[in-house]
Amino acid sequence: MRITNRMVVNNNINNMTDAMDKLYDLQKQSATHKKYLKASDNPSNNASVLTLKSALQTSQVYEATAQSTKDWMDATDFALQQAGDITQRAISAVMRGLSDTSGADTRKTIAEEIDGMIKEAMDVANTKHLDRYIFSGFTTNTVPFTMGTDPADPTKDMAIYKTGLPQDFQAIRRDIGPGETITVNIDGKTTFEHMINTLIKTRDALKDNNTTELRVQAAQLDISLDEVTLATTINGSRIRALEAAQDRISESNKEIKALISQKEEANMAEVTAELANQENIYQTVITISSRTQSMVNLFESLG
């Protein structure tokens, strides 16, 4: 093939451009730590990165959901512990009241004590977490218990659950993973209604110095305690399940992040080595180009 001067020059320019191109690419990779900057650099890889990122975002919301659910359950646990505590204190107070050494006056004092407990129990049953009533089913904006009067005997007090609203248990559920649902709340009606109303009846029996009725209510208080304990146990096992799920979610988040970085991030050792190599190539190309272009031609050697 006949080689002309322009071919030599063009070839030099092409080689320099190619070497510069590769250098530029590696420089970008090392500056951004990314394998590629545009989707078109690696379309299929980019598609899986997008899917992974979307999965990560979903998973991160699950993580947040699990945390806020945990907070709610911790608040529930605290409330139930208090409720159990109150019931137990009430039971021992009633025991004192039932003692033969106690007279009507002592019982009145104990009735005062129980009255305080009723107020405490009302507060506990109406516990708010982040301004939401946690024992009120879906109607988290409605106070669950209000003090009213017994419809059968208007002279008597009675705690009333969600006045005018459906009484059945509304389970609040949260998704803490794809297709993985957990019930968050405890039925306020079964847990507290009986307990508070038994406390009220106990107080009234103590006030009236009615030991027969007091005995009946003492047995009822045991039932109340059982209910509160049962709720505490259920909530506790839910918390354990949730903690396991939290561990799993954070583990899977880590895995997704690792996958994304594997697909997206440049191997810096590799890039640095390639960069050094490409620098050498570029230098060589430049040297060769300068030599071929400055070669003496025949015109100059002619006398």
Partner 1 sequence: MSSFSGINVALQNLLAQQAALEITQNNVANANTEGYHRQQAVMKAGFPARSMSLTNSAGVQNIGTGVYISNIKRYSLDFYDTQYRSQLSQNSRYSMLTDMLSEIETNLADSSSDSLTNRINNFFAGWQTVATDPDIAANRQDLLETTQTLVEGFQNRALSLIQIQKDQNLAITQRVDDVNSIAKQLAELNAEIGRSQTDTSDPNALLDERDRLLDKLATNIGTTVHIQDDGQVLVSIQGHALVIGSRTFKLEATPVAANGNLVKINWADDPDKNALTIENGEIGGIMYARDTVIGDQLKRLDNTATSLMNRVNAIHQSGYDLNGNAGLPFFVFSDGSTNPVHASLSISLNTNITSYTQIAAATQVTAPGVGAPGDGNNALDIANCINTTTFPTRVPPITALTNAQDPVMAAGEQSIGHYNTSRITQLALEQRHAETGVKDTKSIMTAMDEQRESVAGVNLDEEAANMLKYQRAYQAAARLMNTFDQMLELVVTNLGLAGR
Q: Which chain residues interact with partner 1 by CB under 8 A?
A: 1-7, 10, 14, 37-44, 46-47, 50-51, 53-54, 57-58, 60-62, 64-65, 68-69, 130, 132, 136-142, 164-166, 170, 172-175, 185, 297-299, 302
- If the CB atoms of residues 84 and 137 are measured against partner 1, the closer one turns out to be 137
- Backbone phi, then psi, for 133, in 5-degree steps? -75, 120
- If the CB atoms of residues 133 and 192 are measured against partner 1, the closer one turns out to be 133
To partner 1, the closest distance from the beta carbon of 138 in angstroms equals 3
- If the CB atoms of residues 172 and 216 are measured against partner 1, the closer one turns out to be 172
Collapsing DSSP to helix, strand or coil, 127 comes out as coil
To partner 1, the closest distance from the beta carbon of 298 in angstroms equals 4
To partner 1, the closest distance from the beta carbon of 216 in angstroms equals 35
- Backbone phi, then psi, for 132, in 5-degree steps? -125, 140
Q: Report the b/e string of 71-83 with b at 16+ CB within 10 A.
A: ebbebbbebbebb
- If the CB atoms of residues 12 and 87 are measured against partner 1, the closer one turns out to be 12
Q: At what angle do helices 43-98 and 104-125 cross, to 10 degrees?
A: 170
- If the CB atoms of residues 18 and 247 are measured against partner 1, the closer one turns out to be 18
121, 192 in Cβ contact below 8 A?
yes
Query: Residue 297 carries which side chain, given as an amino acid letter?
Result: N
Angstrom distance (rounded) from CA 35 to CA 1:
41
Q: Give the tokens for residue 136.
A: 């009120």
In this structure, how many other beta carbons lie within 10 angstroms of the beta carbon of residue 222? 13
To partner 1, the closest distance from the beta carbon of 157 in angstroms equals 26
To partner 1, the closest distance from the beta carbon of 8 in angstroms equals 10
